[in-house]
Amino acid sequence: MQRFETIQALNVEGDISPDQFQDPAWGKAQPVFLTRFWSGKEAPVGRHAEARIIWSDESLNVQFVCNQDQPLIVSENPQLNQKTIGLWDRDVCEIFVAPFPDQPHRYFEFEAAPSGEWVDLAVSFNEAKRENDFAFLSGITVAASVSDDQLRIGMRIPWSASIPRPQHGDEWRANLFRCVGLGNERYLAWQPTFTAEPNFHVPDAFGRLRFI
């Protein structure tokens, strides 16, 4: 499969909710593939995922379509009315975006789980130390659809003072991830971070997200 260092985010008319998995706009967006672990090693096909990104005047939308050949690891008591800290310890799909080109080490983390749970964080590095703002609230909404061998995850992230609406041609730094299964081999990345131990928080390894 071809891999892209730059994702083309397609501009669409109208607002799309995260559960509109079959909206025709998704078929026009560029697919990107998560086929490798964070280390760069090829992952089994049963853990592969595809992602597409679109944007409108109202929001940034992301859809993941994931192969699912093993039992889901999700909470038995999902909390859907607030963010779930520690969601990353279970099955999730994630996008990190750094909207400001002059501040690549300041970015936002968004996760959604098959259970419909979510988490959003503002992240920054200060003198090589990572700081997480757990109080950050983006207004993200998510949706999930699970079948026997496939998982779909949708995210809608509204534009705000923290994440301003881009202009055509703008380019952000970004990365996409999936956590599935158990052990170190649960961590897949669109752009691998190549760290010794699993670590998604390597902004220098992020790819690019171009708004077209």
Mean pLDDT in order along the chain per 10 residues (212 residues):
76 97 97 97 97 98 96 95 97 98 95 98 92 97 95 98 97 98 95 97 96 98
Q: How many helices (H) and strands (E) does the chain have?
A: 1, 14
Gyration radius from the chain CA atoms = 16
For CA atoms 21, 108, 105, 196, give the dihedral sign. Answer: negative
Domain 6-77+84-211 fold: Immunoglobulin-like (2.60.40)
**Pair type for strands 207-211 and 171-179:** antiparallel
Compute the half-sphere exposure of residue 3: CA atoms within 13 Å on the CB side of its CA. 16
Q: What is the pLDDT of residue 2?
A: 40
**∠ Cα 158 129 172 (to 5°):** 35
Note the pTM of the prediction, 2 decimals.
Answer: 0.96
Beta bridge partners of 145: 152
Q: What is the pLDDT of residue 55?
A: 98
Q: What is the pLDDT of residue 16?
A: 97
Q: What is the pLDDT of residue 10?
A: 98
Q: What is the pLDDT of residue 21?
A: 97
